[in-house]
A and B are shown apart, each in its own frame.
Chain A
Amino acid sequence: MSVNNTQVKHIAALANIPVSEEESQELAEAFTETLVVVDRLRKADAGKTAITHQVTGFKNILREDIVKEEQSFTQEEALANAKSTYKGFFVVPYVLQNKDN
């Protein structure tokens, strides 16, 4: 399986990673190199084998649904590392409406 740089740009958009033209070329080559190794998996006899997502076999480990004050951030703590805040809120980029169009 090989990957071209048009595909790389599509993936970059999905992953929200800014990628330059030059980088997309390099990444296409790197992905192709990696997928060669991954493609060997097809040689494993996995046909109808079940899928494993979790190795412990535990199911639904839950704790009691109680609010623990000491485990919750204060508003001040929650905002402590934010680059930009406004009246106690995070400032986020436009998503629903872009102000430029």
Chain B
Amino acid sequence: MKLNELTLKESIDALDKKEVKIEEIYQDIDKVYQAKNEDLNIYLSVDADALKKAKEASKKPLRGLPIAVKDNFCTIGLPTTASSNVLDGFMPQYESTVTKRLKENGGIVYGKTNMDAWAHGSSTETSDFGRTLNPRNIEHLPGGSSGGSAAAIAADMSIAAIGSETAGSIRQPAAWCGTVGLKPSYGRVSRFGVVSMASSTDSPGPLTKTVEDACILLNSFAGPDERDATCNKEKAPDFTSFLGQSIKGLKIGVIYQDVKEIGETNDKLLQELNILKELGAEVEIVKAMDPHHAIGVYTVVQRAEVSSNLARYDGIRYGEDRSHFGDESKRRIMLGTYTLTKGHADQYYNLAQKVRTLYLENYKELFKKYDILVAPTSPSFAKKIGASFESSMFGELEDMLVEASSVSGLPGINVPFYHDEKTNLYLGANFIAPMWREDSIIKVADAFEKNTKWNSWRNK
């Protein structure tokens, strides 16, 4: 077996039992990096000293294992570009809280992964440094914006990965690449040192091979941070303690949106969820608010916050000037500016924030009756390369199903629930729970993963 194919948990166990050496794991990771990175375009930069650092971290919780990190986390010593020409060559003078804690826990930043420029997209096709290809099928996109991190997992080019999500940017690429992706509750993980996108929804989180791996990795960086004023002051739980639990009696609502774009995927998911009934959960279909409204809410809120956050890039203190923004970023900054101008703020920005409240209220009602809600993560399989250029609303339509929970700040996790033999592509299910209830989604996702055949690492 190639050691780059080990899960995070398997790697830690194998190292502890002295069955493998850390050098051997790096050797296999390096091999696949050298063979495939040029074509797949997953890493924008790698740390030449990764193995050296790994050897010094052997006694820490993550044992010096190589972790892929999205290129919007500031890292001292490695360029941080957010895949934009504006930040080409930018070397941060400080470290993001997430990567600082990752390193303190013995995780090694193997390299920085490609993404949609500024995380504006759901394809990784809007990167100023070229698109990333889906390792499961190179004619298709990896999704985004954390597409490089999802692809690093699917290609076994890292043991685990870190991404960030504003609306779908962890879960949707995880779905398209057939991996696990966990978006914690907004405020569970510090945003300090992450290139800001939409400050009221940005949530860093793990992309991994298994649910168990996601819990191990999240343990290393979740929790209070005085440098992020929106961070929960409460200590984060041990996420691994929710693994291997019974789901008996859990009430699961399946959000069945009667929308033509989702029809087939909905039916496949319903069939797969039968296993949860067999495990003792109650599963029934529920009707939730129309997901189309969430597209509008997200489009307005995200662009408004983008126009404010990206105003800081002036090319004076760092980076290039504003003529270096790509088309998608220009569109978003300008549309955000428009929706905030006098005369339009009420019509767009304030209306969107009101409809956001309606979603919060809708979830509050639904969670009175259900512990967990589930729906497909994405309307269908990974789209073909080039697809994102066909519509200026590509991202939002793709993320339609996750946007409502994102603007509400809820935790969610993607796990694969179907594999198409012909195309080698996956479909993903998105389990969501009330704020701060990561325990519920971990419990049910772990049970689903272990009792179905869809996880490609558990079912080799």
Q: How far is the CA of A93 from the CA of B430 in the complex (A)?
A: 49
Which B264-317 residues have a C-beta within 8 angstroms of A? 290, 292-293, 295-297, 299-300, 307, 311, 314-317
Question: When each residue 15-54 of chain A gets 1 if its CB lies under 8 Å from chain B and 0 otherwise, what string results?
Answer: 1111100010001001101100111111111100111111
Q: How far is the CA of A73 from the CA of B74 in the complex (A)?
A: 15
CB within 8 Å: A-B pair count? 149
Question: A80–B93 contact, CB under 8 A?
Answer: yes
Question: When each residue 220-247 of chain B gets 1 if its CB lies under 8 Å from chain A and 0 otherwise, what string results?
Answer: 0000001101111100000000000000
Q: Which of B233, B352, B392 has the most CB of A within 10 A?
A: B392
Q: Is residue B138 contacting chain A, with contact meaning CB distance below 8 A?
A: no
Question: A41–B231 contact, CB under 8 A?
Answer: no
Number of interface residues of B (CB under 8 A): 61
Question: B358–A49 contact, CB under 8 A?
Answer: yes
Q: Is residue A14 contacting chain B, with contact meaning CB distance below 8 A?
A: yes
Residues of A within 8 A of B355 (CB): 41, 44, 46, 49
Q: How far is the CA of A82 from the CA of B293 in the complex (A)?
A: 43
CB A96 to nearest CB in B, in angstroms, measures 16
Question: A55–B409 contact, CB under 8 A?
Answer: yes
Q: How far is the CA of A29 from the CA of B256 in the complex (A)?
A: 34
Residues of B within 8 A of A63 (CB): 226-227
Q: How far is the CA of A92 from the CA of B353 in the complex (A)?
A: 37
Contact of B392 among A33, A43, A58, A91 (CB under 8 A): A33
Across the two chains, which residue of chain A brings its CB closest to B359?
A: A52
Question: A56–B354 contact, CB under 8 A?
Answer: no
Q: How far is the CA of A96 from the CA of B120 in the complex (A)?
A: 34
Residues of A within 8 A of B227 (CB): 63, 71
CB B15 to nearest CB in A, in angstroms, measures 32
Q: How far is the CA of A46 from the CA of B351 in the complex (A)?
A: 7
Q: Is residue B333 contacting chain A, with contact meaning CB distance below 8 A?
A: yes
Q: Is residue A67 contacting chain B, with contact meaning CB distance below 8 A?
A: no
Question: When each residue 47-86 of chain A gets 1 if its CB lies under 8 Å from chain B and 0 otherwise, what string results?
Answer: 0011111111010011100000001010001101111000
Q: Which of B32-40, B145-153, B334-342 is found at the contact surface with chain A?
A: B334-342
Query: Known contacts A33-B393, A37-B396, A90-B316: does B333 contact A17 (CB below 8 Å)?
Result: yes
Q: How far is the CA of A11 from the CA of B340 in the complex (A)?
A: 10
Contact of B435 among A46, A55, A62, A83 (CB under 8 A): A55
Query: Known contacts A34-B299, A90-B316: does B353 contact A53 (CB below 8 Å)?
Result: yes
Q: How far is the CA of A56 from the CA of B185 in the complex (A)?
A: 9
CB A12 to nearest CB in B, in angstroms, measures 6
CB B205 to nearest CB in A, in angstroms, measures 16
Across the two chains, which residue of chain A brings its CB closest to B344?
A: A1
Q: How far is the CA of A64 from the CA of B19 in the complex (A)?
A: 48
Which B322-343 residues have a C-beta within 8 angstroms of A? 322-323, 325, 330-331, 333-335, 337-338, 341
Question: A8–B229 contact, CB under 8 A?
Answer: no
Across the two chains, which residue of chain A brings its CB closest to B298?
A: A38
Question: B293–A52 contact, CB under 8 A?
Answer: no
Question: A81–B319 contact, CB under 8 A?
Answer: yes
Across the two chains, which residue of chain B brings its CB closest to A63?
A: B226
Query: Known contacts A31-B338, A81-B91: does B317 contact A52 (CB below 8 Å)?
Result: no
CB B82 to nearest CB in A, in angstroms, measures 14
Number of interface residues of A (CB under 8 A): 52
Contact of A27 among B295, B318, B331 (CB under 8 A): B331
Question: A56–B187 contact, CB under 8 A?
Answer: yes
Question: A82–B316 contact, CB under 8 A?
Answer: yes
Query: Known contacts A31-B338, A56-B232, A81-B319: does B356 contact A38 (CB below 8 Å)?
Result: no
Question: B316–A58 contact, CB under 8 A?
Answer: no
Question: A11–B338 contact, CB under 8 A?
Answer: yes
Question: B187–A52 contact, CB under 8 A?
Answer: no
Residues of B within 8 A of A23 (CB): 330
Question: B408–A55 contact, CB under 8 A?
Answer: yes
Residues of B within 8 A of A90 (CB): 316-317
Q: Is residue B360 contacting chain A, with contact meaning CB distance below 8 A?
A: yes
CB B164 to nearest CB in A, in angstroms, measures 17
Q: Is residue B350 contacting chain A, with contact meaning CB distance below 8 A?
A: yes
Question: B299–A50 contact, CB under 8 A?
Answer: no
Residues of A within 8 A of B325 (CB): 17
Question: B354–A51 contact, CB under 8 A?
Answer: yes
Question: B187–A58 contact, CB under 8 A?
Answer: yes
Across the two chains, which residue of chain B brings its CB closest to A74?
A: B93
Cβ-closest 7 pairs across A and B: A81-B318, A55-B409, A46-B354, A41-B296, A63-B226, A51-B353, A30-B392
Q: Please list the residues of chain B having a beta carbon within 8 angstroms of any beta carbon in chain A.
A: 90-91, 93-94, 186-187, 200, 226-227, 229-233, 290, 292-293, 295-297, 299-300, 307, 311, 314-319, 322-323, 325, 330-331, 333-335, 337-338, 341, 347-348, 350-358, 360, 391-393, 396, 407-409, 435
Interface pairs (15), CB distance under 8 Å: A17-B334, A31-B334, A31-B335, A34-B392, A41-B348, A43-B293, A51-B354, A53-B200, A53-B353, A55-B200, A55-B360, A56-B409, A71-B227, A78-B93, A91-B316
13 extra interface residue pairs, beta carbon distance < 8 Å, beyond A23-B330, A53-B353, A58-B230:
A8-B334, A17-B322, A18-B322, A19-B330, A33-B392, A40-B293, A41-B293, A41-B351, A45-B358, A52-B360, A55-B200, A61-B233, A81-B91
